[in-house]
Amino acid sequence: MQNQNENQNLGPYWMPFTANRSFKASPRMVVSAQGHYYTAEDGSKILDAFSGLWTTGAGHCHPKIVEAVQKQAAKLDYSAAFQLGHPQAFELAERVCELAPEGINHCFFTNSGSEAVDTALKIALGYHRLRGEGHRNRLIGRERGYHGVNFGGISVGGISPNRKMFSTSLLPNVDHLPHTFNLEKQAFSKGQPEWGGHLAAELERLVALHDGSNLAAVIVEPVAGSTGILVPPVGYLKALREICDKHGILLIFDEVITAFGRIGGAFSSDRFGVVPDIITCAKGLTNGFVPMGAVLVKDEIYQQFMQGPENAIELFHGYTYSGHPLACAAGLAAMDIYRDEGVFEQARSNEKIFEDALHSFKGVENVIDIRNFGLMGAIELAPSDQPGARGFAVHTECFRQGLFVRNGMDILQFSPFFDGDEDYYSQIFDTVRKIINTV
């Protein structure tokens, strides 16, 4: 599977979160996609075991989204995002809020998950200030949390390589909860681990240290994705909610991965029964079709901003492309697909086949853990002398054999399509099984 176009200059493009030199020496290039497959430059098919980058659960180039975006492109390319509106932005906000847990009924559009996170943090700080509690300015993230790559997101995030280079420039007033993963206590858990719910009480320690009246917000991913699928222990999220309520702290769920079907519901509250104050989402919002993120907030938060003179801007924040017409068209088509094709239910009903296929790797040499929730799954490999090398070797060899599997260091990550059946999973895991012990 070679880069067919040998004359193409790969130098100028600085690729994100990619080993550029290694990639450019041996490119893994795709030129089109349909349904479950990419097509490589040489025309061979690559089965996608990651549905984009957690983005495209309803399948690549879904014809209804293609059509909607094409139509929109010919009708309204762009309209000024500040001080002008277009109907699709209002309609999409309404559709998304209809799916959100009760009481969460306002939606601010961004262009990515990272922007959604930084927007959410600003809204949380602004909300407290407007209530006359500007001293509530401390943000709490969690170790191993991923909240995108902007300064707010890496400050509350807990993934060391993302922070290391910028460690002197991170936001002040941030603390981190411990992550909830423990290999000894949780290895090979299916779904939510029994051990670890007590770790929510670490928030009480931060309350005791700073006084709860100084804490603005806690942000966590309901299921941590990028760090290798860390599933919340039984009772953990509910306990966080209770502690936040007790001390007037806002709870933000970063649902950039978990929203829109990935865990078998529109939002994580459908599975865990815990409702946050603010939700960030992106990816599945347009089925990955056009970049778009959103911040959803409770009515009370929105209303707090709507107090001053009526002709004054309430929040000095926004993006040129907030609510872009093409993103809205893609988002509305995605919402139709999710509703009309019963996509979330389908995702839920396919969880068991996925779980069984994943856990069939228990006992395979070098497999030290398997974990899953919804349609998020990880197989963790023992590191070799060079941490990450084994995972990367599986990723590259899988691609060579026609399968896209993502690795985060030595953790193989799976984010299958919502309609994946036994045949889809056999194709994925037969290939992984063949390769896993040859690297």
> By the criterion CB under 6 A, which residues form the site for ligand PLP?
112-114, 117, 146-148, 221, 225-226, 254, 256-257, 282
Parallel, antiparallel or unpaired: strands 215-220 and 250-254: parallel
> Smallest gap, in angstroms, from Cβ of residue 286 to ligand PLP?
11
Distance of closest approach, residue 439 Cβ to ligand PLP, in angstroms: 25
Pick the closer one to ligand PLP by CB: 119 or 431: 119
Quote the least distance from Cβ 117 to ligand PLP, whole Å: 5
CB of 345 to ligand PLP, least distance (A): 24
Instruction: Report the nearest approach of ligand PLP to the CB of residue 77 (Å).
Output: 23
Contact assessment for residue 222 and residue 253, using Cβ atoms and an 8 Å cutoff: yes
d(C-alpha 413, C-alpha 228), whole Å: 7
Phi, psi (deg, nearest 5) at residue 18: -140, 145
Query: Considering beta carbons, is residue 117 or 200 the nearer one to ligand PLP?
Result: 117
Q: How far apart are CA 430 and CA 211, in angstroms?
A: 53
| Comparison of 112 and 214: residue with beta carbon closer to ligand PLP | 112
Q: What are phi and psi of 36, to 5 degrees?
A: -95, 0
Least distance between ligand PLP and beta carbon 299 (Å)? 24
Q: Give whichever of 149 and 315 is closer to ligand PLP, judged by the CB atom.
A: 149
Output 40 or 281, the one with its CB closest to ligand PLP: 281
Q: Are 405 and 392 in contact (CB under 8 A)?
A: no
CB of 55 to ligand PLP, least distance (A): 9
Looking at the Cβ atoms of 81 and 252, the one nearer to ligand PLP is 252
Q: Are strands 174-177 and 250-254 parallel, antiparallel or unpaired?
A: unpaired
C-beta of 289: minimal distance to ligand PLP in Å?
Answer: 13
Longest dimension (CA), the chain: 67
Q: Between 212 and 261, whose beta carbon lies closer to ligand PLP?
A: 261
Q: How far is the CB of 262 from ligand PLP (least distance, A)?
A: 10
Q: CA of 222: how far to CAs of 179, 189, 245, in Å?
A: 12, 17, 17
Smaller CB separation from ligand PLP, 254 or 410: 254
Cβ distance to ligand PLP smaller for residue 56 or 431:
56
Residue with the CB atom nearest ligand PLP in the bound state: 113
Nearest to 262 by CA among 418, 50, 372: 418
Q: Shortest Cβ distance from residue 16 to ligand PLP (Å)?
A: 8
> Cβ of residue 386: shortest distance to ligand PLP, in angstroms?
25
Choose between 86 and 147: whose C-beta lies nearer to ligand PLP.
147
Query: Is 112 or 396 the residue whose CB approaches ligand PLP more closely?
Result: 112
